[in-house]
Amino acid sequence: MRILLVEDDSALADGIARALRAENFAVDIAGNGEDGAHLGDTGLYDAAVLDLGLPVKPGIAVLQEWRAAGRGLPVLILTARDGWSDKVEGFRAGADDYLTKPFRVEELVMRLRALIRRAAGHSAALIACGPLRFDAQTGQFELDRLPLRLTALEWRVLSALMLRKEAVIDRLDLLEHAYESDADPDSNSLEVIIGRLRRKIGRDLIETVRGRGYRLTEALP
């Protein structure tokens, strides 16, 4: 799961990014509205955290531009503006959730997970694929009812596959879910991650669809 964080307070942004990365999210940070709008237009993100009082371009304008362009990216507004009129304006502009400062990072994480899960079409938090289970609200994986230990990269790739199970996901799509924008992964890095996941969960669950990508499936070959 990859998050776009648009926040001009660098100390706050760094703190939020550290907390999200500790929960296995990949995070890209934009310090002003113009950069945030560009990243949201050009990058592949599971959700955005958007401040309203941004330099260069205000957060509401950024959100309105995304929605006018047809961007369905789930957006959580994170702001010190706690007035009712501000909340109404945010939701009318297309926000999916609204959280006011000060806030608990744990609540931010839970809200983001819920937004991402619902955007992927899952009403329930628990998602299963054969012996593999994923609690999309806690971020925990289990295999045969036992906790599954994963690296951050493995978790991002497997969660992307799990949220869209039975669908073929393009390899470039998976790479964008796994790495932050300033990363420079090797050309075969995704294959390495998929290989490690297959050793941990079994080869049959992840299908290679030649020329297209990968699919998490319960169907036996």
Q: Each residue of 196-211: pLDDT tens digit?
A: 999 999 989 999 998 8
Taking the complete model, does pTM exceed 0.95, yes or no?
no
Determine the Cα–Cα distance for residues 36 and 181; give it in Å rounded to an integer. 13
How confident is the prediction for the chain on average, in pLDDT?
93
- If you search the block for the tokens 């899952």, which residue do you land on? 122
Long-range contacts of 120-129 (CB under 8 A, 24+ apart): 120/163, 120/164, 122/163, 127/162, 127/163, 127/165, 129/162, 129/165, 129/205, 129/216, 129/217, 129/218
| Percentage of residues of the chain with pLDDT beyond 90 | 84
Write out pLDDT tens, residues 51-104: 999 999 999 999 999 999 999 999 999 999 989 999 999 999 999 999 999 999
Q: What are phi and psi of 154, to 5 degrees?
A: -60, -40
pLDDT at 93: 96
Is residue 100 a contact partner of residue 81, using CB atoms and an 8 Å limit? yes
Write out pLDDT tens, residues 139-190: 999 999 999 999 999 999 999 999 999 999 999 899 888 888 877 777 678 9
Q: What are phi and psi of 35, to 5 degrees?
A: -65, -40
